[in-house]
Amino acid sequence: MTRVHTKAEVTAMGHVALVAGGDSAEREISLKGAKAVAGALERLGVHYSLVDGPRRLLEQVEAGHFDRVFNLLHGRGGEDGALQGALRLYGIPMTGSGVLASALTMSKVQTKRIWQAVGLPTPSYQICKKAEWLADDQAKAIANQDAQALIDAVGLPMFVKPNREGSSLGMSRVMDAQDIGPALIKAFEFDDEVLVEQLIEGRELTAGVIGTDVLPLIELKTPNEFYDFDAKYAAGTTEYLCPAPIDQELAESSSALCWRAFDVVGARGWGRVDLMLDQNNAPWLLEVNTTPGMTESSLLPKAALASGMDFEELVWQILSQAQIA
């Protein structure tokens, strides 16, 4: 339920910049989420203005128009530490993680390296750089010896995904050696660094985080090959089971692991941790999302609702925890 917020609490929020859109590959998803958040801010009585993209936001911040920022930019330019660093210079509080955690978690590889360093479970991987794989022509990406080297490192099946992209854009599930090259070429369209990762067969879960609270786990089930862009935003056939139908001990240990994964990379405020449970119910961490989606089909609002927090209160909790990055 939405807590009744006093006029003084609402006024203290000041003039809020709701920044969304921008020019990343996730622009439309960002704008869709901003529409939902804008409605919640209106119902809460918060004074806000919608701003399209980081450049326009910084121009208006420099002019002294805003007191805090609700960041709904996804991907590079808004979620990677660049905007966080700029707003730090102006001393403007913003929602979500600070400069270091935002930059770190934008890279799936760097996140996995931190997890490995502290002994947290994450699938084995290799990194492929576009300049090395496509230096001469795209034929190198499908050379047998190169594909075999990746298979030797992570095995089959595998996931091929852009290192610094979200919403499953450019991602492929690869079952056969002959499909590695096309999958790499597809991923290189979105990033010049590509993560080739061991595919964990099992159940896909996600854990939302608000402040220091881990929300009820969600299990995702889709008839698609994996939880891809279509399954997330278009198909309408994905099942969201919340709380996830797993026993209490496993749910508690998985939630604790997700909090550790979130905390160790320095994330704060709000976010989401994705993981797999293999066929032995062993957990494997995949990635941290420091600016999760806020559309009607997004995962964090579903988990918040399962915990008794409606959308307006979720928006309030995120906004009230804004800090200088």
Q: What is the full per-residue pLDDT of the chain (325 aa) written as tens digits? A: 567 899 999 999 999 999 999 988 889 999 999 999 999 999 999 999 999 999 999 999 999 999 999 999 998 889 999 999 999 999 999 999 999 999 999 999 999 999 999 999 999 999 999 888 775 555 454 555 678 889 999 999 999 999 987 657 889 999 999 899 889 989 999 999 999 999 999 999 999 999 999 999 999 997 766 555 554 555 566 899 999 999 999 999 999 999 999 999 999 999 999 999 999 999 999 999 999 999 877 999 999 999 999 999 999 999 999 999 8
Q: Does 322 fall in a domain?
A: no
As separate numbers, helices (DSSP H) first and strands (DSSP E) second, the chain gives 13, 15
For residue 46, give Cα distances in angstroms to 9, 19, 35: 10, 15, 15
> What is the reported pLDDT for 144?
55
> What is the reported pLDDT for 136?
57
The first and second tokens of residue 100, run together, are 């270091």
167 is catalytic: yes
Do 182 and 243 lie in one domain? The reply is: no
The range of the structural domain enclosing residue 240 comes to 105-121+201-316
Do 32 and 115 lie in one domain? The reply is: no
Q: Does 323 fall in a domain?
A: no
Q: Does 321 fall in a domain?
A: no
Do 145 and 235 lie in one domain? The reply is: no
**Residue 141: how many CB atoms within 10 A of its CB?**
20
Label residues 198-237 b or e (16+ Cβ within 10 Å = b).
Answer: bbbebbbbbbbbbeeebbbbbbbebeeeebbbebbbeeee
Picking from 135, 164, 198, the residue at the C-terminal end of a domain is 198
Candidate list 168, 272, 298, 312, residue with the active-site label:
272
Do 175 and 207 lie in one domain? The reply is: no
> What is the reported pLDDT for 95?
98
Candidate list 21, 22, 26, 204, residue with the active-site label:
26
Do 85 and 111 lie in one domain? The reply is: no
Q: How many domains does the chain have?
A: 3
Do 15 and 85 lie in one domain? The reply is: yes
DSSP 8-state class, residue 142: G
d(CA 175, CA 180): 9
Q: Does 213 fall in a domain?
A: yes
Q: Does 32 fall in a domain?
A: yes
Q: What is the CATH number of the domain that holds 303?
A: 3.30.470.20
Question: In which region does residue 203 sit, left (phi positive, over 0), alpha (psi from -120 to 50) or beta (all else)?
Answer: beta
Q: Render pLDDT for 82-119 as a digit per residue (tens, 0 to 9).
A: 999 999 999 999 999 999 999 999 999 999 999 999 99
Candidate list 21, 22, 166, 293, residue with the active-site label:
293
Do 226 and 294 lie in one domain? The reply is: yes
Candidate list 165, 191, 228, 287, residue with the active-site label:
287
Do 79 and 133 lie in one domain? The reply is: no
287 is catalytic: yes
293 is catalytic: yes
281 is catalytic: no
> What is the reported pLDDT for 297?
77
26 is catalytic: yes
Q: Which residues are paired to 69 by β-bridges?
A: 17, 94
**Residue 304: how many CB atoms within 10 A of its CB?**
25
Would the pTM count as exceeding 0.85? Answer: yes
> What is the reported pLDDT for 131?
82
Q: What is the CATH number of the domain that holds 39?
A: 3.40.50.20
274 is catalytic: yes
Do 247 and 308 lie in one domain? The reply is: yes
Candidate list 165, 274, 312, 313, residue with the active-site label:
274
Candidate list 167, 168, 254, 255, residue with the active-site label:
167
Candidate list 24, 168, 289, 298, residue with the active-site label:
289
23 is catalytic: no
Do 179 and 233 lie in one domain? The reply is: no
